[in-house]
Chain A
């Protein structure tokens, strides 16, 4: 079945540094990928929609200059948290839409735990 790989699964960084998280669709091409953020015991909050070859669409309240999204190929989208601060510590999850067939099924990566110290 379709698989979405997310890397790294856990990362600890110092405050003020930048961290890049990768999201790959392994056996299908994903023209659209989504990035979510999840705080403890909360649901997933959509941050942005990543479209291959064009600029990402950010949700209201999400700083595009802080959360840089690049979707350079049909199988890879990256989220870079720039100048990270402790309040950016969270669980980040990507998803990719598999448009094959009629389902338009969305598959999720395993998520990335970011801790900013």
Chain B
């Protein structure tokens, strides 16, 4: 069974700190991997998408890396801000037509 695991489940940091969220997947034959942000009671916002042939993607203060062979991805957030507080979800897909398989997410709180 394809599974996605995210560690830690919850994280609280002071404002300004750099942080790393971890994601691992059991089947390394992924098509691509996406990181999403979800605010309480809201839908998902796509943050970064990494194709299986890529090793990282960057957007502003966010950097996502992918090590396909070891089945791991990390999301690095630089200089965290209270507005970054949300749940971050990692998801993989195994072909161009199959649905995403989600992890349970990491709930991030950035304290001012």
Q: A: which residues have CB within 8 A of B?
A: 6, 32, 34, 42-44, 46, 49, 91, 93, 95, 97, 99, 102-111, 113
Contacts and interface: CB of A to CB of B under 8 A. Distances in A.
A104 B32 contact: yes
Given A43-B89, A93-B43, A111-B42, A103 B49 contact: yes
B104 A42 contact: yes
Nearest to A31: B97
Q: From B89, B99, B102, name the one whose CB has the most chain A CB atoms within 10 angstroms.
A: B99
Given A49-B99, A105-B49, 14 more contacts: A6-B43, A32-B97, A34-B99, A42-B104, A43-B89, A44-B100, A44-B102, A102-B51, A103-B49, A104-B32, A104-B96, A106-B100, A108-B36, A108-B44
B96 A110 contact: no
B41 interface: yes
Query: Which label, helix, strand, loop or mixed, suits the secondary structure of the A interface?
Result: strand
17 contacts: A34-B100, A43-B89, A43-B105, A44-B44, A44-B100, A95-B44, A95-B100, A97-B97, A102-B51, A103-B49, A104-B93, A105-B34, A106-B34, A106-B93, A110-B42, A111-B42, A111-B43
A103 B50 CA distance: 9
Contact of B46 (A42, A49, A108, A110): A108
Interface of B: 31-32, 34, 36, 41-46, 49, 51, 89, 93, 96-97, 99-105
A109 B104 contact: no
Nearest to A32: B97
Nearest to B4: A43
Contacts of A44: 44, 89, 100, 102
A113 B41 contact: yes
B34 to A, nearest CB: 7
Nearest to B31: A104
